[in-house]
């Protein structure tokens, strides 16, 4: 089925006879595979008598060799056509003894997830589902503010591709205005006081144009810029940005990045509600501290908050 998809990915018409010849199957078998493409991958195929079959729009499929060649990426790159989630596969690879660093990508996720167990919508070949595995030596200082570091690198990559209004929301989101365009999910295994592995999971809405499955405001690179993006270019460039910021973080700690992160935080000075389970704290965002914790002014007093299960929301009076 995926071999058929590669023949159709240019978005041009291909006759059933030509497709059958390319695959070594009958025209009726081509028809059956096309039905599977639509049913299993959610792709739309135009069928015109006398012209053949055409994808509703061209697809840019991920290619490991192309990614590594673009900006000299040295990490091994593993691409899956369909998987539960790239983070889950990355964690399984660690258990199997895979040597970090390495990168896991997928054309589609069947069980993609964000922070706090939320579903991450993952249509086939539309967006970026990216998990980078790093080995961390030397204890907790190496992971202080790490999710914020990743967010800053992702934001700069998006801006380099023309998404100039991209900004940050503490702790793990990249927004355009009030609409989410990317999210970050970090998962840690091992001993954080000694040697551990961290999975840097990044989801970016790249070419997605519509969906009924997202329960919050969202946008995509395509919607913002009005054009289709090559995800191989994005993977290569974002990986370069990540390398740069991870090296800065490793050498100098999060304090070296704190002021730059605050510069791009879209909710600086805004009235927010911080939600932790059934508890809610209302305050005004003052910034972040040298470890990446959120600084809130609550009833005139500065308080600090950190942790993976916190959620930040704008208040109506912001």
Q: What is the 3-state secondary structure (H, E, C) of the chain?
A: CHHHHHHHCCCCCECHHHHHHHHCCCHHHHHHHHHHHHHHHCCCEEEECCCEEEECCCCCCCCHHHHHHHCCCCCCEEEECCECCHHHHHHHHHHCCCCCCEEEEECCECCCECHHHCECCCCCCCCEEEEEEEEEECCHHHHCCHHHHHHHHHHHHHHHCCCCCEEEECCCEEEECCEEEEEEEEEEEECCCCEEEEEEEEEECCCCCCCCCCCCCECCHHHHHCCCCCHHHHHHHHHHHHHHHHHHHHHHCHHHCHHHHHHCECCCCCEEEEEECCEEEEEEEEEECCCCCEEEEECCEEEEECCCCCEEEECCCC
313 included as an active-site residue: yes
Same fold, 64-262 and 268-314: no
Catalytic residue among 115, 169, 231, 241: 115
CA distance 291 to 308: 14
241: CB partners within 8 A, 6+ apart: 153, 154, 156, 157, 160
Q: Which of 12, 92, 263, 313 is catalytic?
A: 313
Q: What is the mean pLDDT of residues 280-298?
A: 94
Q: What is the structure's pLDDT at 193?
A: 77
- Other C-beta atoms within 10 Å of 43: how many? 19
Q: What's the distance, CA 134 to chain centroid?
A: 17
Min mean pLDDT across 29-38, 62-71, 76-85 is at 29-38
Instruction: Return the CATH class of domain 268-314.
Output: mainly beta
pLDDT of residue 288 exceeding 70: yes
Describe the strand order of the beta sheet including 311-314 as a list of residue ranges.
301-305, 294-298, 279-288, 271-276, 311-314
Does domain 64-262 fall into CATH 3.30.930.10?
Answer: yes
* Binding-site sequence positions for biotin: 85-87, 109, 113-115, 180
The yes-or-no verdict on residue 178 having pLDDT over 60 is: yes
* Strand-pair partners of 271: 284
CATH number among 1.10.10.10, 3.30.930.10, 3.40.50.300, 3.40.50.170, domain 2-55: 1.10.10.10
Give the residue ranges of the annotated binding site: 85-87, 109, 113-115, 180
User: What band does 77 get if pLDDT is binned at 50, 70 and 90?
Assistant: very high
pLDDT over 90 (residue 248): yes
pLDDT tens, position by position, 42-68:
788 888 888 888 888 788 899 999 999
pLDDT of residue 317: 52
Q: pLDDT value at position 318? A: 46
Lowest-pLDDT choice from 206-215, 226-235, 263-272:
206-215
Give the residue among 142, 137, 133 at the shortest CA–CA distance from 96. 133
Average pLDDT over residues 67-76: 90
Q: Considering the entire predicted model, what is its pTM?
A: 0.89
Judged against a pLDDT cut of 60, whether residue 115 lies above it is answered with no
Q: Give the lowest-confidence range in 26-35, 62-71, 102-111, 293-302.
A: 26-35
Q: Which residue ranges make up each domain of the chain? A: 2-55, 64-262, 268-314
The mean predicted confidence, pLDDT, of the chain is 89
Catalytic residue from among 70, 108, 169, 180: 180
108 is catalytic: no
| Residue 260 or residue 306, greater confidence | 260
Reported as a pLDDT band with limits 50, 70 and 90, residue 2 is confident
Look at residues 225, 240, 147 and name the one whose alpha carbon lies nearest to residue 181. 225
- Shortest CA distance to 122 belongs to which of 41, 215, 192? 41
In which band, very low, low, confident or very high, does the pLDDT at 142 lie, cut at 50, 70 and 90? confident
Cα gap 158→146, rounded to integer Å: 19
């Amino acid at each position: 089925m995926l071999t058929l998809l590669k023949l159709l990915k240019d978005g041009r018409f291909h006759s059933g006879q030509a497709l059958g010849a390319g695959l070594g199957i009958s025209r009726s078998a081509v028809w059956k595979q096309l039905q599977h493409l639509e049913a299993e991958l959610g792709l739309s195929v135009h069928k015109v008598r006398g012209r053949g079959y055409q994808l509703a729009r061209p697809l840019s499929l991920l290619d490991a060799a192309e990614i590594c060649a673009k900006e000299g990426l040295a990490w091994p790159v593993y691409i899956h056509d369909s998987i539960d989630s790239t983070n889950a596969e990355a964690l399984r690879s660690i258990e199997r003894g895979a040597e970090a660093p390495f990168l896991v990508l997928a054309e589609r996720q069947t069980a993609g997830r964000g922070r706090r167990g939320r579903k991450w919508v993952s249509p086939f070949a539309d967006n970026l589902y990216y998990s980078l595995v790093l080995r961390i030596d030397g204890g907790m200082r190496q992971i202080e503010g790490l999710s914020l570091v990743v967010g800053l690198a992702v934001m700069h990559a998006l801006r380099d591709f023309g998404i100039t209004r991209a900004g940050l929301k503490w702790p793990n989101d990249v927004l355009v205005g009030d609409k989410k365009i990317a999210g970050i999910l970090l998962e840690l295994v091992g001993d954080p006081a000694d040697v551990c592995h961290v999975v840097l999971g990044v989801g970016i809405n790249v070419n997605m144009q519509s969906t009924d499955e997202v329960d919050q405001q969202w946008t995509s690179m395509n919607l913002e810029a009005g054009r289709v993006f090559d995800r191989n270019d994005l993977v290569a460039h974002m990986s370069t940005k990540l390398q740069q910021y991870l090296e800065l973080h490793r050498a100098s700690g999060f304090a070296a990045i704190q002021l730059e992160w605050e510069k791009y935080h879209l909710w600086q000075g805004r009235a927010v509600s911080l939600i932790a389970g059934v508890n809610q704290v209302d305050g005004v965002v003052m910034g972040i501290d040298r470890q990446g914790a959120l600084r809130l002014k609550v009833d005139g007093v500065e308080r600090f908050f950190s942790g993976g299960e916190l959620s930040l929301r704008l208040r109506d009076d912001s």
